[in-house]
Amino acid sequence: MIKRRQFLRAGLAGAGAVLASRVSFPLAWAQSGTADSRIEVLVNEPLGTISPNLYGHFTENLSGVVYDGIWVGANSKVPNIDGIRKDLIDEMRKIKSPVVRFPGGCFADSYDWRDGIGPANRRPRRTNFWAQGETPEAPASHRYDPNEFGTNEFVHFCKLIGSEPYLAANLRSLPAEEFYRWVEYCNSPAGSTTLSDMRADAGFKEPFNVRFWGVGNESWGCGGNFTAQEYAVEFRRFATWVPRFQPRSAPESREELSFIASGPNVDDWAWTRGFFEEMARKGRFQLRSIYGWALHHYAWNLARGRTRDWIQGKGDALKFDAVDWYELLHEGDRMEGLINGHWQVMSEEDPEHSVKLVVDEWGPWYKPGSEATPGDQLEQMPTLRDAVFSGMTLDLFNRHPEKIAMANCAQLINCLNSLYLAHEDRFVVTPVGHVFSMYAAHQGGQALRTIFSAPTIDYDRDGKSASFWGLKGSASVHDKDLTLTVVNPHVSDGRETQVVVRGAKIKATGATVLTHSDIHAHNTFAENNVVAPKAQSVEIREDMLSFRFPPASVTKLSVHLL
Ligand code: AHR
């Protein structure tokens, strides 16, 4: 592993110090010590409530995600609750997991929900959407879906961890009637329909009351290769007249079903515009049938402008240099422009913004080779870099609470930006998992406008100068408890920072810091505590906080206000 010190020697030395002189501070600041950075939290400038659902997850029936990751089976020696891995349940309770998306992803548009209900020993085996990418050594369940984990098991998992289920319906290969029936199976009252009786026979008499329904996934690609206009027509057909079981007059009926339409890949503005225009062509009221517009953005291209090829452009999860570090963060940071950009395009037909954004797939995506369990498809090893990436992304979501209704990190376990890795009886919390635990305090909080001033990071991108911001984060408040999360992306320089809370007095504070001296640091089954959050004290001086944000770190400051 290359230590951070070696990067200093590799040419980045002193960059922060030189750049620090560019930031100018008022006199009082200059006199108050050696700070090179400043954060101002504006308690009287609320931005909106941070939906807990911004901290959601995504679990696709893909390789080791479900079979091995989540589902071990009730007869397994691996500690489990009704077949579901117990370690996973325990950890997800700790992070207050609000919502989980299932069964895909691309898998969703090849899935027949009926295969996954009824007595387990009578469920069919089906070829998994991802079968072709499996190695010959892969467990049979990864190639041929045994359907042991279906709707009942998924909803039960959600109940055990205190999350809401978000089911993605198959729009490519099932008729709209099957969407109708799946909703009926999940939500029709006990004893009311044949499908509710089938649910009761499986031990689930009471309705699941599934609120969130994806209508197709990536319908521009694996979900059917539609044009935006064609997909809008399909969406209208699927979303029209789906059964609801609350009387229209009941206040809950408005939120009984929330449909999420398959939105754009990254910056495909034409997909957003085409869909909204086609929906509105039948009258803008049609847009009211949509709760969320799904945006997908993976940070994958680390080729520094050399190629846009999906295979060639990817970087390595573990072998990277400082430039790759910044490039990955740069790719991920595009998210803010995507949120603002799509929001703007959506407003052309939806000026009142009745439709919100749902970022239901996000995270870094590397080339194969770093799997904790060799052979697991799309599995990668999250490092400190991915923790910083994840903190940065969650902060970015917190800063747009009025636009984003939900976000789902891709994917929960044994996959891309995983919070957990598991194989048989082994289980480990990754640095990404620790970030979710630190950031849980933001859920349901009032987001506050916060101003970050820090030296910009300049780096050499193969002979051309490139830059990245020096310090960013987000703040929220619950009553008198303020949470400020901050990312320092610099690989070698800490940021001496003065934190001012405007509009309130500070009573007490503490910090939780996630960092490591090696930017490649990660947790493995054998060494599971290499990257872990640590508590640190914070100095309060003249109503200001002084804190040094270490290089390559994610920090949470928990501040009690008077
Ligand atoms: O998360 C892996 C895949 O990425 C999902 O199945 C798909 O929706 C996306 O392209």
Write the secondary structure of 277-301 as one string of H (helix), E (strand) and C (coil).
HHHHHCCHHHHHHCCEEEEEEEECC
Please give the pLDDT value at position 33. 60
Can you tell me which atom of ligand 1 is nearest the CA of 415? 1
Q: What is the mean pLDDT of each run of 10 residues along the chain (562 residues)?
A: 35 31 41 82 98 98 98 98 98 98 98 97 97 95 98 98 98 98 98 98 98 98 98 97 92 90 98 98 95 98 97 98 98 98 98 98 98 97 98 98 98 98 98 98 98 98 96 98 98 97 93 98 98 95 91 97 93
Please give the pLDDT value at position 288. 94
- Ligand 1 centroid–CA 105 distance in Å is 5
Strand partners, 358: 294, 406
Mutating to test ligand 1, I would choose from 296, 310, 413 the residue with most ligand atoms within 8 A of its C-beta, which is: 296
Quote the Cα angle for 266-269-270, to 5°: 125
Q: Does residue 291 contact residue 254 with C-beta atoms inside 8 Å?
A: no
From the CB of 16, is ligand 1 less than 6 Å away? no
Whole-number Å distance between alpha carbons of 551 and 452: 16
Q: Whose CA is nearest to atom 6 of ligand 1?
A: 105
Token pair of 23, please? 């930031």
Which residue bears the tokens 């498809």?
377
Token pair of 42, please? 């504006």
Can you tell me which atom of ligand 1 is nearest the CA of 223? 8
Whole-number Å distance between alpha carbons of 322 and 4: 9
Please give the pLDDT value at position 264. 98
Strand partners, 404: 357
What DSSP string describes 21-70? TT----HHHHHT-S--EEEEEEEEEEEEE--GGGGEEE--SSTTTTBTTT
Helix (H, G, I), strand (E, B) or coil at 258: strand
From the CB of 361, is ligand 1 less than 6 Å away? yes
Helix (H, G, I), strand (E, B) or coil at 92: helix
Is 153 noted as a catalytic residue in this protein?
A: no
Closest alpha carbon to 232 in 263, 206, 269, 199:
263
Q: Whose CA is nearest to atom 5 of ligand 1?
A: 105
What single-letter amino acid sits at 310? W
Q: Does residue 227 contact residue 114 with C-beta atoms inside 8 Å?
A: no
Whole-number Å distance between alpha carbons of 544 and 505: 9
Is 218 noted as a catalytic residue in this protein?
A: yes
Please give the pLDDT value at position 23. 39
* pTM (whole model) above 0.85: yes
Neighbours of 444 (CB within 10 A): 16
Closest alpha carbon to 379 in 416, 423, 412, 424:
416
